[in-house]
Amino acid sequence: MKKIFILSVQPFAGKTFLTIGLLNKLIEKGYSTGYIKPLGLTPQLIGNSVYDTDAVLIKELFKLKEPLDIISPFVITYETMNYLLQGKLGDIKEKIKDSIAMMKDKDFLIIGGAGNLFTGAILGMDAFSFVKETGSKVMVVENFSGDSTIDNLIGLKKLIDKNFLGAVINRIPQEAFKYVKENLKSFLEQQGIGIFGLFKKDDILESITVRDLVALLGGRVLCCEDRLDELVEHFTVGAMDVDSALKYFRRIPNKAVITGAHRSDIQLAAMETSTKVIILTGGTSANDVVIAKAISKGIPLVSVEQDTFTTVDRIEFMLGKVRIKEPRKIERLKEIFEGSFNIEGFLEALR
Amino acid sequence: MVDHLFKPGSIAVIGASREEKKVGHAVLKNLLLAGYKGKLYPVNPKAQEILGIRTYSSLKEIISPIDQIVVAVPPPLVVETLKNAVEVGVKTAVIITAGFRETGPEGLRLEEELKDIARKGNIRILGPNCLGIINTAIGLNATFAAGTPPQGKLSFFSQSGALGIAILDWAIGNNIGISKFISLGNKIDLTELDFLEYFMNDPETEVILGYIEDVVDGRRFLEIAKRATKIKPVILIKSGGTEHGARAASSHTGALAGSEIAFEAAFKQTGVIRAKTIQELFDLALFFSSKGHRPFETQEKINSYYKREFEGQSPSKRLPEGNRLLIITNAGGPGILAADAAEREGMDLPLLKKESIEELKKGLPGNASLYNPIDIIGDADSKRYRFVLEKVLMDEGFDALLVILTPQAMTDVKEVAEIIVEKAKETSKPIITSLMGEAKTKEASLMLRQEGIPSYTYPEVAISVIRKAVDFYKWKNLHTEEPEELQGILKNKAEEFMNSFIKDKRTDITEADAMDFLSLYGFRFPRRSLAKTAEEAGTIAQSIGFPVVMKISSPEILHKTEVGGVKLNINSREEAHEAFLEITSNVKRLFPHAYIKGVMVYEMIKGGKELIMGITFDRTFGHMVMVGLGGIYVEVLKDVSFRIVPVSRRDAFDMLEELRAFRLLKGVRGERPADIEAIIDQILRLSRLAMDFPEIMELDINPLVVFEKGAICLDARIIISHLNEGGNR
């Protein structure tokens, strides 16, 4: 069994993205492929046990037979953390190793890393220790960050040494793609760092559903309840005059517009462009004429209590941290992987 | 179909009521009082008879055919009523009932239902939520306004019912004749465009008036208005021209109107006379509906006008053919005020011929002013007015005459008015009057209006009206221009570029990409090349020739100068070398993570005058071309003008002439003029570009440097839409 550990220098770099993509590719090629998430950071209650959200999603997605107790052996929660601090928890490491052992008949085991390089150090399970002890090969997913991407990858290769398998670079801006492909990639490959995928920044993958947005903001939906599963890719604030707003709105597809409830002009301008939801701040409702128009256009209006500044603040906190879970995003992920991931190169490197 | 609406042979009033305060009562009463000549059927299941007419319990009970229904029942009943109307073959429905889209989702749903029934049942709808309809010629007053205006030649459509009522009341109070009146309401079927087109061809309409908050289809509006204004004056009020006004309009109608600049351009390009206030609408209506200024009386004359236009003759005798205004006054102060107003409005105050002045001198007191304004002194009696009118009318050196009067004790206002009426018959030039005051002048003023001489209280108002009449005359006599073929356009190649931008999902096209694209449409840019090293920068600079300009090239950095990303006037290889290092260091310091393509080295352009030009997209009228004064004061001076595409050569010239900076272009203090033709060429190319590539939502060329010969663009930025908003290529 080949063990592949998915790692990133920083959190929210795209580990779940790479995990799902790899699993999908390997299964498609007919390999028996298992998955575990040894250390969970985002708990989700299933029945009366807590598991990692990713683990729950991936088990469901690939119809994995192994029970969640094996796929997600341990999750850091408020409670487990307290036990850890008090030294009252049993041998987590053993539990995890047991999980891995259960998978021994698979061709491949994808091991989802969590957080950053040091996550899990409290259990003696930071990425470096884990990889060394389990003899996993490391696939790095790197969030493109200009020239520091080069340093990050060279640095990791040096630290992980012979267990370093290769990397993919994620969220590359359209403008920089040519440069990354022509200059950066070949340079890294000369340094012995296999780059198996270059992924452009993708609006759909970065999107959030209107429903999740409403939950995040504690909003009240005024109309178009049936449109809450639409994906919002961008956020804009409408506080300018309506002509400027229109110019600005036109450039931004599939967006949420945040504006005051009294700005009926901005709300109508938003409806004339590609808009998935209009968030009315300040707690008041919209004008009847505007609601009628929103219904005819199928654009939900959501009233939130907080002011525009607070609303934007909450959204900003969430940006870049959205999870992949909606079917449309999974489809998109597979599409991107199909076109931009070098599976043959990856398998070759594993041999 | 609109004709059926105005000329129904029979009407059923649905919701006719016995209660005086109800709309259904007021409508029936108005129809009776106005003397409607067709058959009238009140429908009310609970009444036997209303206002002395037999009442029917339902539409189906009426055996004779019904052309029109006027509906004043609560909203939910309107749907049923309309279905019944379709069944019995009604042609048109005037739905006065309110409570539809304007009240929210349920109202909107009902409205959609009405639309559906109308479409399937082939019945045309006015409204809902409207005041109704008037056609004085057949005694049709199916409104709930208080009273019916006298019959006349003005026709009016209004997006505001309440404003319509005010206008009708004004017409009644001032004895102004109205031909047709329409309150548009929610416009679910018939809109301002239908009525503009109908009034244009309606022989009973001589002047078209309208109040609009938006138009449903900007392109069609342009097309119809352009034709209508060649036949008769179209005077419109468009509200919502300010930010707050527009916001108020949007929550009134639930729609966003086009921008103010787009409406301004639309009115200029179609010859529509724009009234900024209701007062101005009245003032203009008064002038254009005055008998003496009636351009056409019948369809025959309209036809003959077209014929005459082809022969190049002037179609109207009572419009000022130029801006030369002669003022006669018996009051010094108002004369001076009038002269001020005339100059501000761009009117010319010519002197009469020497012989005419000599003639005047013989009959006027020594202290009279013989020049323009001609001041015949406060003690002038009617004889003196007669004398001066006789003399000046023999002179041909002016286009319009303004007679001012203030009522002194010795002034016989009525007699002067009669003399003006008499003399007006002897001339083909328009005469307009300003009888200042109220108690002593009111009666004479009304008499003048009756006789077809426009009369205003204040001379400034009279002059602003004349100005618009001059512009209208000019407009009517302009020939339409055909679009020009432009040389050196590589459309196919440009399409390839655009397709690749769209494929890459790019919205902002800047720097070299924008320049390469625009070059294909004949826009010239400085020679340029991208340097990746300081060494390369030196070599490129040398091959371009010194001096050069160097700019950071990075899609992420928009304001290059502000971050030290621009160096001008580089004169040697060494300087280019240094500039490269300096620019890249500055940017790296301020934008450590920005993706940098390199440093662009440009040929440096010196001298010339800076303009800006571009394309914008308006939600109602579509693409517009803009030109204005460039340089660092753009934001402050806002000296720009706009036209909707396609822009003709004349439009392009008008755009330039409108700029305050036009005088700078023509050269000041001995400067040589800038190449106006070259600017016009660039404007026409922009217009072509906007038509060929509707995905362009915004385009800025800043600056365009114009020389004595030729012009060159220094920088450009294009915003494209992937949503097909501008239309398909």
Mind giving me the DSSP string for A189-243? HHTT--EEEEEE--TTTT-EEHHHHHHHHT-EE-S-GGGTTSEE-EEEEE-S-HH
Chain B nearest CA to A145, separation (Å): 7
Partners of A250 on chain B (C-beta within 8 Å) are: 617, 697, 719, 721, 723, 725
- Residue B729 — pLDDT band, cuts 50, 70, 90? low
Rounded to 5 degrees, φ, ψ at B142 are: -100, 60
Query: What pLDDT is stored for residue B298 in this prediction?
Result: 43
State the average pLDDT over residues B256-285: 91
Q: What percent of chain A has pLDDT over 90?
A: 71
Chain A nearest CA to B653, separation (Å): 26
Check if B243 contacts A (Cβ < 8 Å).
yes
Q: HEC profile for B278-332?
A: HHHHHHHHHHHHCHHHCCCCCHHHHHHHHHHHHCCCCCCCCCCCCCEEEEEECCH
Query: What pLDDT is stored for residue B315 in this prediction?
Result: 31
Check if A46 contacts B (Cβ < 8 Å).
no
Q: Which of B560, B588, B557, B583 is nearest to B570 (CA)?
A: B583
Query: What pLDDT is stored for residue A51 in this prediction?
Result: 95
Residues 6+ apart with CB under 8 A from A15: A6, A7, A8, A112, A113, A114, A141
B180 neighbors B155 (Cβ within 8 angstroms): yes
Q: Residue A309, Cβ neighbours under 10 Å: how many? A: 11
Q: How far is C-alpha B450 from the chain's CA centre?
A: 30
The span from the CA of B472 to the CA of B270, in Å, is 10
Name residue B440's amino acid: K
Name residue B418's amino acid: E
B81 neighbors B111 (Cβ within 8 angstroms): no
Query: What pLDDT is stored for residue B313 in this prediction?
Result: 31
Alpha carbon of B648 to those of B319, B478, B662, B694: distances in Å?
A: 26, 13, 18, 18
Give DSSP secondary structure letters for B647-667.
PPHHHHHHHHHHSTTHHHHH-
Q: What percent of chain B has pLDDT over 70?
A: 95
Query: What pLDDT is stored for residue B26 in this prediction?
Result: 94
pTM: 0.83
Task: Tell whether the model's pLDDT for residue B292 goes beyond 60.
Answer: no
State the average pLDDT over residues A6-12: 92
Q: Name residue, tokens 């056409």.
A: B296
Query: What pLDDT is stored for residue B310 in this prediction?
Result: 34
User: Among residues 136-175 of chain A, which lie with CB inside 8 Å of chain B?
Assistant: 145-146, 173-175
pLDDT tens digit sequence for B185-242: 999 999 999 999 999 999 999 999 999 998 999 999 999 999 999 999 999 999 887 7
Query: What pLDDT is stored for residue B433 in this prediction?
Result: 95
pLDDT tens digit sequence for A222-259: 999 999 999 999 999 998 888 888 888 988 889 999 99
Mutation pick from B247, B259, B635 vs chain A, by most beta carbons of A within 10 Å, is B247
Mutation pick from B111, B244, B251, B723 vs chain A, by most beta carbons of A within 10 Å, is B251
The span from the CA of B131 to the CA of B166, in Å, is 12
**Cα-Cα end-to-end distance for chain B:** 34
Strands A255-260 and A275-281: parallel
Q: Which of B180, B219, B266 is nearest to B6 (CA)?
A: B180
Question: How is residue A103 written in tokens?
Answer: 């998978």
When mean pLDDT is compared across B90-94, B293-297, B356-360, B595-599, the lowest value belongs to B293-297
Chain-chain contact of B595 with A176 (C-beta, under 8 angstroms):
yes
Task: Name the 3-class secondary structure at B50.
Answer: strand
Question: How is residue A185 written in tokens?
Answer: 């990639």
Question: How is residue B419 written in tokens?
Answer: 């003399």
Provide the residue count of chain B: 729
Check if A293 contacts B (Cβ < 8 Å).
yes
Query: What pLDDT is stored for residue B725 in this prediction?
Result: 65
B608 neighbors B707 (Cβ within 8 angstroms): yes
Question: How is residue B345 written in tokens?
Answer: 């409005």
Query: What pLDDT is stored for residue B728 in this prediction?
Result: 61
Residue A60: burial class (beta carbons within 10 Å; 0-12, 13-18, 19+): exposed
User: Among residues 660-719 of chain B, which lie with CB inside 8 Å of chain A?
Assistant: 697-698, 719
Q: Which of A10, A9, A1, A74 is nearest to A36 (CA)?
A: A74
Query: What pLDDT is stored for residue B312 in this prediction?
Result: 35
When mean pLDDT is compared across A114-118, B402-406, B707-711, the lowest value belongs to A114-118
Q: Which residue of B has its CA nearest to A223?
A: B105
When mean pLDDT is compared across B98-107, B474-483, B616-625, the lowest value belongs to B474-483
Mutation pick from A280, A289, A299 vs chain B, by most beta carbons of B within 10 Å, is A289
Question: How is residue A240 written in tokens?
Answer: 């300018």
Q: Residue A244, Cβ neighbours under 10 Å: how many? A: 12
Query: What pLDDT is stored for residue B483 in this prediction?
Result: 75
Chain-chain contact of A251 with B719 (C-beta, under 8 angstroms):
yes
Task: Tell whether the model's pLDDT for residue B69 goes beyond 90.
Answer: yes
Query: What pLDDT is stored for residue B73 in this prediction?
Result: 95
Chain-chain contact of B697 with A247 (C-beta, under 8 angstroms):
yes
Query: What pLDDT is stored for residue B450 in this prediction?
Result: 83
Q: 3-state DSSP helix/strand/coil percent for chain A, to nearest 5?
A: 45, 25, 30
The span from the CA of A82 to the CA of A68, in Å, is 23
The span from the CA of B99 to the CA of B29, in Å, is 23
ipTM of this predicted structure = 0.73
pLDDT tens digit sequence for B340-356: 999 999 999 999 999 99
Provide the residue count of chain A: 351
Alpha carbon of B712 to those of B53, B119, B527, B541, B679: distances in Å?
A: 77, 54, 11, 19, 10
Chain-chain contact of A173 with B256 (C-beta, under 8 angstroms):
no
pLDDT tens digit sequence for A253-306: 899 999 998 888 899 999 989 999 999 998 888 888 889 889 989 999 999 999
pLDDT tens digit sequence for A87-113: 888 888 899 999 999 999 999 999 999
pLDDT tens digit sequence for A52-68: 999 999 999 999 999 99
The span from the CA of B302 to the CA of A238, in Å, is 50
Rounded to 5 degrees, φ, ψ at A109 are: -130, 120
Name residue B240's amino acid: G
Residues 6+ apart with CB under 8 A from B20: B26
